Chain A
């Protein structure tokens, strides 16, 4: 899939930065609540981005990224709660802690592939809430009650509301992380990562240090997801062990699958998608009850589950990839000579 056209990227970014400023004009459309929702979408997008770096670009399956999200969130919460650290400083700390944790988990993961890695990370995801409740950590983590924090305050006396500031904060972090990920993938290291995914043995033979790349990718991926966790800790201003259950990892997986495995732009779409479905589950359920005549509640996870299965059949590339190929095939049907020209061009250039 080719890169998203640069021109449109700038337009989107400008729109993302300007839209909150429309608040005085359209107070209902650009409400604080909606901005907060978009902030959670951005956080989700970062988490899915992290998972995609590992699963999509390095071929290591992880069902346990909820664990790294939890580590990030708790690192941020503990630092803010015990050391009164400013919220923006918790992000690099969470990134470092998660990188180390991810790197360490990547070491045993080196020996596992495919199903077995999925199994190990599945076990990790299931055990996380219990580990967070461990008695010896209670002084730090607050046990079952979790930690209550305060929302980030607007700095420099800017004329913004708390939610608007949070939105800008998350947006800037995401843009930076996205830019960094795009650059990593576009470098020698990124090509090595993808080579390991596509042809492990060949990559090894070509002199790529596969063990190093795999563990470091695990670390980077965990750091991304951990940053998302840290952001969510300051956005929701609360962390508790039971919010980091296995279903959190399922959400990341649905974000990955919907957006497209191995697509950066898709990660963002996937993150937005799962928050959207999660938040409209109530509306969905009433719709199913009243309009479709179903007798029971339709929960978000039923939708997620069905989508996971259906997408694997119909659009293994995710919605972004699927739509792209649909558009392209329609386009090339209309202009059959375009394909030939492209083929000719390729032949000439090579």
Chain B
């Protein structure tokens, strides 16, 4: 096989995320033109608002934060060959636990925030461990189990919330000030007024940690080996079951922490439905980021910008278009990759 051709093939498959985004934006442009607006002007306005001002950048970062966590959680599962669709429920429970710990634990000031973060990680981790153990022990399909557990989580919180929610609302009491994650505009005045908070820094830390875990440790190597081929990994001395259980548990921990931006850093209370589908968009984030922590970060920023920019252009183009674009990115990404791979195979 010609070396240059092999390179070209690798390049082609690596292009798939960009092809997917371009195709989705093109489809969006057709819609925008159909309702009588100018696509380039709308996209330009969207980008300039999302990245052009300090406040806009803060909003983009704020919206990217939960997506960074959920994208990382999905990617971690994918690396071990597991599809965690339960990120939404894990994040939901993580946020609920953080809210409760921040309100009722009454931990002394320096411990209040770590305790609330730990509660979020634990709640998400337990919810990830359940399908992980069921997969390892009984071979039960994690896709179905994680979907089921999403709904169990929603029901559980509705039930537990009966006695906890403030009267006539669906939110818990406000957390203690010591458990709050600080806003970043205290550090960087340019971001003034935007709700981006220290949860983003935690997310970056988690991303770096996952990068080290996956590519620099023995455990990470084993997870990837199981993801690549469970039987081959077993043959090589890796026990696939425990590795899968660990992967889903860690994925749940990361997802649980994803609830902290809203609960500890923004509203300072838990509210029913606060996740708003971030867990599912995390699948798009992981897909576009090709399951690499850095790629996930870039993809989270892209969807964060789209989400904020969509609000800004809402006067002229319905912001619901952004949801359609997100879905199209997923559909184009999964079809572009096999297509480009096939083209690459022909070339090579």
Are the chains A and B members of one assembly? no
A residues with a Cβ closer than 8 A to B are none
